[in-house]
């Protein structure tokens, strides 16, 4: 009724609505301007600032930034063996954490989505989310106590301890996307596979895995990028090892060398871009 | 230096760690925007006997009436107003006696302190040795006229006019307190009792995998202190002034030490727990950590090894552009007054700067525990100073490694 009234005698609001209705592009640009501004200014802007800073240097004594172009930071980064070792170690940790989380999360998510009753499903989701309510530091220190040589696990500290702790910390971020993906998978497909004679493994390989793969990719992006940037867990349970995050932190926090820290920080960004490009080739991103 | 670590404060421990991490994150964010907020000074760092020539800034000539307030940047635990513990309060008595209201900004790292000071909104700061020289060189901190600070007369001579709180005989602040980085060991695992840093540098150590070291580039100075007696042919005079060869020797020693390290510690809760649980049996520590570990029944002992040790001594400095200089001077006088200095030293766990503070501590043996009056003890302690390219030991024929190179080397040592 209101629309017909607006059509018969358009007020200013009606005229605006009619204008927007006719000019789809204006409508679209108005709708998108806020998120695009956020993306452009806050997100890409910050990344760009980081990248530009990487080409500056600092006055080593007063700590002031020297805003003149130099390749020196990247030169140090590429020529120093230690940075390559640390980058590869961080990459290894991120891959290991992602694989462990995948192996633990997939059966869990499958059971939640397909085997549990709707009532149990809700409780399981809450249980998976519960650890996220506790502080990151509390959980990391809890693992420190458990891993201590007189603790419950008693493994001692080091890279293994770091991988175990990170796998625990990021597990919910893997379970939830896979759970959501599997929930959308019609159970009738599983029944159909069974009717056609496929056993468990074959059903998994030809039906469940291909359809849930985009969800797995989504989860792996979380666990992979979170592990790649972490520096606190490794400080708490890592013994004497260090990751990319520690190099960034040490250069900003202790040495006040923001440009070099920025140069180091581009390494995980590049690794993530390569990872996303590889994922894109599999076509998983289109089905997210 | 202590910039990467929470300070040894008797606060809720988890909280201190969280706060330090949060503050570190803030510093990281703030760093990109603040840039060179200072006066742009400090460019003329000409090599000279005292290291460098600071910008010419006049100290306050005479004390006037208080401005009614003072804005401080302080380490956690340095300006307590009773909000952490009602019994621990030396801010309100100051406000009552001087009429200067205290606004405290707690900083988590030395870099945060430097950046905050450069905003020009603060009057005074409790700077550590790694921040003080930078503040002086950039013209952010002014010389301090110690004649206007009556309590300065009672400060231990071992703390006055040192390389981290003065330049060429001109004081840039008043000493707050001091402490040493000691050698701690578990008595049930390490015997006989060690008296040398050699025990943490021995490649054939029986404690392999259970040795700890402080996780900061400044720890390179600890290796240099050891090398001063272990390899006198290197000619190290000051562990913070290392030329190429001396620096390389220290770095090599630390790379070798890495083989026997179990973990590097940077926050003190971590170290207390490691010693208590036996994951670490020997390594560097602070007196306050040893006290807490003993309180938790860990069988540990500490010593100042025969080679000497590194240590830390903080300085209260006044901003060159202070809006409330009179209240700032009054605060400097207050914080080193016997009563307040005793309170802050006990709360924080360090040796007080004022000799008369020892009579005012609630624990009668406090000054003995922290060796406050023991000048011989502190004569063996080399306090943290920012390594700069102009050698701090006065050599002019070589350049020394500056702190950013120390940081790179530390990354390399940890591998």
**pLDDT tens digit string along A87-123?**
999 999 999 999 999 999 999 999 999 999 999 999 9
CA B268 to CA B286: how far, in whole Å?
9
CA–CA–CA angle A86, A92, A96 (5° rounding): 145
With CA atoms as reference, report the closest residue to A100 among A270, A224, A17: A224
CA A38 to CA B215: how far, in whole Å?
38
Q: Using the beta-carbon criterion (under 8 Å), do A256 and B31 form an inter-chain contact? A: yes
Q: Which of residues 389-408 of B touch A (CB under 8 A)?
A: 389, 402-408
Length of chain B: 415
CA B232 to CA B413: how far, in whole Å?
23
Is B179-310+389-414 in the same CATH topology as B2-33+48-178+313-371? yes
The ranges assigned to domains in chain B are: 2-33+48-178+313-371, 179-310+389-414
Query: A128 at the B interface (CB within 8 A)?
Result: no
How much is the pLDDT for B226? 96
Contact list, A137 vs chain B (CB under 8 Å): 14, 17-18, 21
Q: Within B88-201, where are the H helices?
A: 92-98, 110-118, 129-137, 198-201
Contact list, A65 vs chain B (CB under 8 Å): 35-36
Contact list, B14 vs chain A (CB under 8 Å): 137-138, 141
Q: Are strands A57-58 and B101-106 parallel, antiparallel or unpaired?
A: unpaired
Assign A57 a pLDDT band (cuts: 50, 70, 90): confident
Contact list, A260 vs chain B (CB under 8 Å): 404
Is the Cβ–Cβ distance between A272 and A225 less than 8 Å?
Answer: yes
Please give the mean pLDDT across all residues of chain A.
87
Using alpha carbons only, how large is chain B's radius of gyration in Å?
21
How much is the pLDDT for B46? 33
User: Using one digit for the tens of pLDDT, what is the confidence trace for A126-144?
Assistant: 999 998 888 999 999 999 9
Using alpha carbons only, how large is chain A's radius of gyration in Å?
25
CA A151 to CA A158: how far, in whole Å?
15
CATH class of the structural domain B179-310+389-414: alpha beta
Low-confidence ranges of chain B (pLDDT < 50): 1-49
How much is the pLDDT for A224? 94
Contact list, B410 vs chain A (CB under 8 Å): 250
CA B95 to CA B292: how far, in whole Å?
32
Q: Which of residues 115-134 of B touch A (CB under 8 A)?
A: 133-134
Is the Cβ–Cβ distance between B160 and B171 less than 8 Å?
Answer: yes
CA B266 to CA B283: how far, in whole Å?
12
Q: Using the beta-carbon criterion (under 8 Å), do A64 and B258 form an inter-chain contact? A: no
How much is the pLDDT for A63? 64
Q: Which of residues 42-61 of B touch A (CB under 8 A)?
A: 42-43, 45, 52
ipTM attached to this prediction: 0.71
With CA atoms as reference, report the closest residue to B350 among B111, B122, B8: B8
Q: How far is A65 from chain B, CA to nearest CA, in Å?
A: 6
CA dihedral sign, ordered B244, B250, B253, B258: negative
CA B163 to CA B50: how far, in whole Å?
8
Is the Cβ–Cβ distance between B403 and B388 less than 8 Å?
Answer: yes
Contact list, A258 vs chain B (CB under 8 Å): 31-32
In order of their start, the domains of chain A are: 2-47 (no CATH), 77-287 (1.10.3720.10)
CA A156 to CA A236: how far, in whole Å?
12
Q: Dihedral, CA atoms, A246, A252, A257, A258, nearest 10 degrees?
A: 110
Q: How far is A150 from chain B, CA to nearest CA, in Å?
A: 6
Query: A76 at the B interface (CB within 8 A)?
Result: yes
Query: A141 at the B interface (CB within 8 A)?
Result: yes
Residue A199, helix vs strand vs coil = coil
With CA atoms as reference, report the closest residue to A86 among B415, B314, B306: B415
CA dihedral sign, ordered B229, B230, B233, B234: negative
- Domain at B2-33+48-178+313-371: CATH code: 3.40.190.10
Which of A52, A57, A62 best probes binding to B when mutated, by most B CB atoms within 10 angstroms? A62
First to last CA, chain A: 40
Q: Are strands B174-186 and B309-319 parallel, antiparallel or unpaired?
A: antiparallel
CA A73 to CA B7: how far, in whole Å?
31
For residues A2-21, give the mean pLDDT.
Answer: 73
Residue B125, helix vs strand vs coil = strand
Contact list, B386 vs chain A (CB under 8 Å): 61
* Residue A35 reports pLDDT greater than 90: no
How much is the pLDDT for B13? 31
What single DSSP character describes residue B289? Answer: H
Is the Cβ–Cβ distance between A219 and A174 less than 8 Å?
Answer: yes
User: Using one digit for the tens of pLDDT, what is the confidence trace for B333-368?
Assistant: 999 999 999 999 988 888 999 999 999 999 889 999
């Amino acid at each position: 009724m209101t629309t017909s009234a607006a059509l018969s005698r358009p007020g200013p609001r009606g005229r605006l609505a009619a204008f927007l209705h006719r000019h789809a592009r204006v409508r679209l640009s108005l709708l998108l301007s806020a998120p695009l501004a956020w993306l452009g200014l806050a997100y890409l802007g910050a990344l760009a600032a980081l990248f530009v800073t990487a080409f500056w240097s600092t006055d080593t004594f007063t700590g002031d930034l020297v805003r003149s172009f130099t390749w020196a930071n990247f030169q140090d980064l590429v020529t120093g063996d230690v940075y390559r070792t640390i980058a590869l170690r961080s990459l290894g940790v991120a891959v290991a954490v992602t694989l462990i989380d995948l192996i633990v999360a997939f059966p869990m998510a499958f059971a939640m989505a397909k085997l549990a009753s709707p009532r149990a499903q809700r409780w399981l989701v809450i249980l998976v989310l519960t650890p996220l309510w506790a502080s990151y530091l509390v959980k990391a220190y809890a693992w420190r106590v458990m891993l201590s040589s007189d603790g419950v696990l008693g493994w001692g500290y080091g890279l293994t301890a770091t991988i175990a702790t990170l796998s625990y910390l990021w597990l919910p971020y893997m379970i939830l996307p896979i759970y959501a993906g599997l929930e959308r998978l019609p159970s009738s497909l599983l029944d159909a596979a069974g009717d056609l004679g496929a056993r468990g493994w074959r059903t998994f390989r030809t039906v469940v895995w291909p359809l849930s793969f985009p969800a797995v990719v989504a989860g792996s992006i979380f666990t992979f990028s979170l592990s790649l940037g972490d520096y606190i867990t490794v400080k708490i349970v890592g013994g004497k090892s260090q990751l990319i995050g520690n190099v960034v932190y040490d250069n900003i926090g202790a040495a006040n060398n923001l440009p070099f820290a920025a140069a180091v920080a581009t390494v995980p960004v590049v690794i993530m871009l390569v990872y996303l490009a590889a994922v894109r080739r599999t076509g998983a991103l289109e089905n997210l | 230096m202590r910039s990467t670590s929470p300070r040894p404060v008797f606060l809720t421990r988890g909280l201190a760690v969280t706060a330090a991490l949060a503050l570190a994150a803030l510093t990281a964010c703030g760093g990109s925007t603040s840039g060179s907020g200072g006066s742009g000074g400090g460019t003329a760092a000409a090599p000279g006997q005292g290291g460098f020539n600071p910008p010419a800034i006049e100290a306050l000539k005479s004390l006037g009436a208080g401005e009614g307030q003072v804005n401080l940047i302080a380490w956690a635990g340095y300006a307590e107003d009773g909000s952490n513990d009602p019994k621990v309060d030396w801010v309100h008595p100051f406000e009552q006696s001087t009429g200067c209201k205290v606004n405290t900004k707690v900083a988590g790292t030395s870099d945060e302190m430097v950046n905050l000071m450069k905003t020009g909104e603060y009057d005074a700061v409790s700077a550590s040795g790694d921040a003080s020289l930078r503040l002086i060189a950039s013209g952010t901190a002014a010389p301090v006229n110690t004649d206007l600070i009556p309590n300065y007369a009672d400060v231990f001579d071992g703390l006055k006019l040192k390389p981290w709180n003065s330049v060429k005989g001109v004081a840039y602040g008043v000493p707050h307190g001091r402490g040493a980085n000691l050698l701690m060991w578990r008595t049930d695992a390490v015997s006989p009792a060690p008296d040398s840093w050699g025990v943490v540098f021995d490649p054939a150590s029986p404690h392999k995998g259970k040795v700890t070291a402080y996780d900061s580039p400044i720890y390179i100075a600890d290796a240099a202190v050891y090398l001063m007696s272990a390899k006198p042919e290197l000619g190290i005079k000051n562990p913070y002034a290392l030329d190429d060869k001396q620096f390389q020797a220290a770095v090599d020693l630390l790379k070798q030490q890495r083989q026997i390290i179990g973990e590097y510690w940077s926050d003190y809760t971590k170290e207390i727990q490691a010693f208590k649980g036996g994951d670490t049996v020997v390594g560097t520590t602070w007196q306050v950590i040893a006290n807490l570990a003993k309180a938790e029944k860990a069988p540990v002992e500490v010593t100042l090894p025969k080679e000497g040790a590194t240590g830390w001594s903080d300085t209260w400095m006044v901003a060159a552009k202070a809006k409330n200089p009179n209240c700032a001077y009054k605060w400097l006088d207050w914080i080193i007054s016997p009563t307040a200095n005793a309170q802050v030293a006990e709360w924080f766990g360090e040796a007080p700067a004022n000799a008369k503070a020892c009579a005012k501590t609630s624990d009668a043996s406090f000054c003995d525990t922290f060796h406050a009056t023991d000048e011989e003890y502190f004569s063996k302690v080399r306090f943290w100073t920012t390594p700069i390219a102009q050698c701090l030991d006065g050599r002019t024929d070589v350049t020394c490694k500056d702190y950013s190179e120390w940081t790179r080397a530390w990354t390399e040592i940890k591998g």
